[in-house]
Structure formats: C-alpha cells, structure tokens
Amino acid sequence: MANYYIHVGSITNAMRGKKLLEARGMRSFVHRAPNPPDGDGCGYSLLVTADEREATRILRAGGVRVVRVSEGL
C-alpha cells in the first residue's frame, strides 16, 4: 500500500488532523512535510497509508486546511 503525505501546514493542524482521522478509524503519523509546495515553505504533514482521498475529505470536513498531497516512499 502506498504512503501519502498530506501537507497541512501548522503543527496544530497536523495534531488536530491526526485526532480527526483517529476518530474515523484511520491511522496517521505527524511528520515534517517532505515536499512543501513552492512558495509555501516548511510545515507539517500527516503520513497515511490508507485511502488518501477519504483522509483528505475527513480533514477538510473537519476544518483542517489541506495544502497538498504527495506520494511518499
């Protein structure tokens, strides 16, 4: 299964996002964002191995700003 980094910006967003995903039974890990978007700069991401589209949907519905999603190693 592929790993995805969901870049969410701040550490607070990442922690909050992790809790939102946990509440929906999805495991995630907070990491520094490996490939932040151009012009945005460093920040934090959620590493998920589950369905990244569903994870992104949950995060956005919970008010967490998703900056970008990228595939990890």
Contact status: 40 vs other proteins (CB under 8 A): yes
Beta-strand ranges (E) seen in 1-73 are 4-9, 28-32, 44-48, 68-71
- The rounded distance, in Å, linking the Cα atoms of 16 and 10 is 10
In whole angstroms, the minimum distance from the beta carbon of 56 to other proteins comes to: 17
User: Which region, judged by CB under 8 A, interacts with other proteins, from 3-11, 20-28, 49-57?
Assistant: 3-11
Binding site for other proteins (CB under 8 A): 9-13, 15-16, 30-32, 36, 38-44, 63, 65
